[in-house]
């Protein structure tokens, strides 16, 4: 369809054309202006004058991506590791800067979303969570893998989830630095919170205490990492220097154990 120059239309026709192109065809003001030989701010001002509802910035961007006039800002692009880490750190800091009132509001919203799920959806999510915990216990958590990789990169010799015979008991140590006789245990929330109930928590604490005693009794030194938060690479990067400091402290002192947290 061909159009006359915008200034040649009557007020009624201008309103009709803008409604058709902006509302029905979902063109932007810039695209409409190109068709009518004018400029986008003129179309926008007249749309406001004719009481045509203006799309907000988010709607406008989404619409521009859909109709192909703009590319998706991140689709097809690859962020560097440094950029990803900065984003992760920014997200982490934004959460930590929330007030108790804001945190309570987010918890309430999460609970509402959970309650809206069907029983089947809830069970499916619980099954996935349980599977993740079981897999983690077999092959190590994300934090353990991260720390393993960083230690190896820095030249440490590390045994990963290797069983060791400690006082006639086979125990699997999360990370072990053999030339320093330092054992590193990464304790997730189930080691200090009733994630699976109070009875399970009591058993976990009893086992952890026994394991620590056996490790130290064997003449080894122990670093316990208390993983309070969910894994994020940004937080792991902040934890790693604490671990290195703990390793150096144990290596150069008579201390038997150190506890750090993420």
Residues 92 and 121 in one domain: yes
pLDDT at 236 over 80: yes
26: left (phi over 0), alpha (psi -120 to 50) or beta: left
Domain count within the chain: 3
Closest CA to 242 of 217, 220, 215, 224: 224
Q: Which of 18-32, 115-129, 143-157, 230-244 has the lowest mean pLDDT?
A: 115-129
Round the average pLDDT of the chain to a whole number and report it: 82
Give me the pLDDT at residue 229, please.
84
Please indicate, yes or no, whether residues 44 and 112 belong to a single structural domain of this protein: no
**Complete DSSP assignment for 68-122:** TSS--SSTT----HHHHHHHHHHHHHHHHT--HHHHHHHHHHHHHHHHHS-HHHH
CA 171 – CA 220 distance, rounded (Å): 13
168 and 221 in a single domain? The answer is: yes
| 130 and 147 co-located in one domain | no
Does residue 150 share a domain with residue 44?
no
| Residue 71: inside a domain | no
How many angstroms separate the CA atoms of 106 and 120, rounded?
24
Per-residue confidence (pLDDT) for residue 81, from 0 to 100 = 63
Average pLDDT over residues 38-61: 85
Does residue 146 share a domain with residue 127? no
- Percent pLDDT > 70 in the chain is 76
CA end-to-end span of the chain: 63
**pLDDT 10s digits, 94-112:** 656 778 788 788 778 888 8
User: Both 55 and 94 in a single domain?
Assistant: no
Residue 2's pLDDT is: 77
Q: Read off the pLDDT of each residue in 178-194 and give the average, rounded to a whole number.
A: 88
Higher pLDDT, 201 or 80: 201
Helix axes 40-49, 11-18, angle to 10 degrees: 100
Is 189 found in the same domain as 156?
yes
pLDDT confidence of residue 61 = 65
pLDDT of residue 45: 92
pLDDT bracket for residue 182 (50, 70, 90)? very high
From 138, 153, 169, the end of a domain falls on: 138
User: For 72-86, 93-107, 241-255, which range has the lowest pLDDT when averaged over its residues?
Assistant: 72-86
Q: Tokens for 116? A: 């809206």
Distance between CA atoms of residues 209 and 114, nearest Å: 36
Q: Are 240 and 214 part of one and the same domain?
A: yes
Q: Which domain holds residue 60?
A: 9-66
Q: Which of 34, 35, 54 is nearest to 44 (CA)?
A: 54
Q: Is 41 part of any domain?
A: yes
**Alpha carbons 43 and 6: distance in angstroms, whole number:** 9
Q: What are phi and psi of 76, to 5 degrees?
A: 85, -5
Q: Tell me what pLDDT residue 4 has.
A: 86
């Amino acid at each position: 369809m061909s159009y006359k120059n915008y200034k040649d239309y009557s007020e009624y026709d201008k309103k009709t054309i803008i409604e058709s192109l902006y509302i029905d065809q979902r063109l932007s003001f810039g695209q409409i202006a190109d068709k009518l030989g004018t400029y986008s701010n003129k179309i926008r001002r007249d749309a406001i004058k004719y009481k045509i509802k203006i799309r907000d910035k988010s709607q406008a961007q989404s619409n521009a991506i859909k109709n192909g006039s703009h590319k998706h800002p991140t689709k097809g692009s690859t962020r560097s590791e440094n950029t990803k880490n900065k984003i992760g750190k920014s997200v982490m800091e934004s959460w930590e800067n929330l007030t108790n009132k804001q945190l309570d509001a987010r918890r309430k919203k999460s609970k509402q979303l959970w309650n809206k799920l069907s029983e089947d959806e809830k069970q499916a999510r619980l099954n996935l969570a349980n599977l993740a915990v079981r897999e983690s216990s077999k092959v190590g958590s994300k934090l353990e893998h991260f720390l393993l990789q960083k230690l190896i990169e820095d030249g440490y010799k590390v045994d990963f989830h290797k069983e060791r015979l400690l006082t006639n008991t086979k125990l699997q140590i999360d990370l072990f630095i053999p030339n320093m006789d330092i054992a590193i245990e990464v304790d997730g929330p189930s080691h200090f919170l009733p994630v699976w109930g109070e009875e399970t928590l009591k058993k976990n604490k009893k086992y952890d205490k026994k394991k620590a005693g056996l490790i130290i009794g064997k003449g080894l030194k122990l670093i316990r990492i208390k993983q309070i938060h969910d894994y994020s690479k940004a937080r792991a990067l902040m934890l790693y220097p604490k671990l290195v400091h703990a390793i150096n402290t144990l290596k150069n002192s008579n201390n038997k154990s150190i506890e750090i947290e993420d």
